[in-house]
Structure 1
Amino acid sequence: MTNALMSVQIIPKTKNGEDVIPYVDEAIKVIHDSGVKYEVHPLETTMEGEMNQLLQIVADMNERMVEMGSPNVISQIKLLYQPSEISMSDLTKKYRDEEKN
């Protein structure tokens, strides 16, 4: 059962002011490899899953940034926890239906 939605924006510091996009791409790969449902948006990525699983994914993303050479990482997250179950489509269905009209 999915009990959480989490949006994450990861901001890795780069060693010599390099472009952060390769780091962000790698962070999204960590999400992809985790197997959770996710959607990439321009300023953040939203994931759907169990709360502890999503928190672990953010920890894994941060570790990967450090492995790539980032001396520190800021991770901004928004978390919706709903024990009775929640999905991205639950919150966006009416907007997707409007797009079809």
Structure 2
Amino acid sequence: MPNSHVAIQVVPMVPDDIQMYEVIDKAIEVIANSGVRYEVGAMQTVMEGELDTLLEIVKQAQTACIDAGATEVVTQIAVHYRPGGVTIEEKLDKYRD
């Protein structure tokens, strides 16, 4: 069972000729290609998995932003760790139809 959730919000600083959302899409692409469970939200993306794996994905997402033209990246993360495991369903099922 995955023991962590990591919420990531990347804010890339980009030159005028680069669209910020296109750079953010590159970070989300890294997450999507990682194989971990994730959900994209309006302000952040939440990943579910082993903590070390998720933190490595955060680093890769930042690098992807730089590779896409960002001059720097401000990244906010929130971590929910529980040795016995934590799931997206236990947090959100009561809010879903």
Report the TM-score, using the length of structure 2 for normalisation: 0.93
Flag structure 1 segments of 5+ consecutive residues without an equivalent: none
Identity %: 34
1:45 Cα deviation after fit? 0.7
User: In the alignment, what sits opposite 1:40?
Assistant: 40
Give secondary structure in 2 for the equivalent of 1:21: helix
Q: How many residues align?
A: 97
1:59 corresponds to which residue?
A: 59
1:23 is displaced (CA, Å) by: 0.6
Q: How far has the Cα of 1:17 moved from its partner?
A: 5.8
What's 2:18 paired with? 18
- Per the normalisation by structure 1, the TM-score is 0.89
Q: What does residue 27 of structure 2 align with?
A: 27
Q: Which residue of 2 aligns with 1:91?
A: 91
What whole-Å deviation, never above 9, does each CA across 1:46-77 have from its counterpart, x for those lacking one?
Answer: 11001111100000001111112212101111
Cα distance in structure 2, aligned partners of 1:72 and 1:54:
21
- Give 1:77's aligned residue: 77
For structure 2, list consecutive stretches of 5 or more residues without a partner in the other structure.
none
* SS of residue paired to 1:54: helix
SS at the partner of 2:18?
coil
Runs of 4+ in structure 1 off by over 6 angstroms are none
Q: In the alignment, is the contact (CA less than 8 A) between 2:23 and 2:69 conserved in 1?
A: no
Aligned partner of residue 7 in structure 1, secondary structure: strand
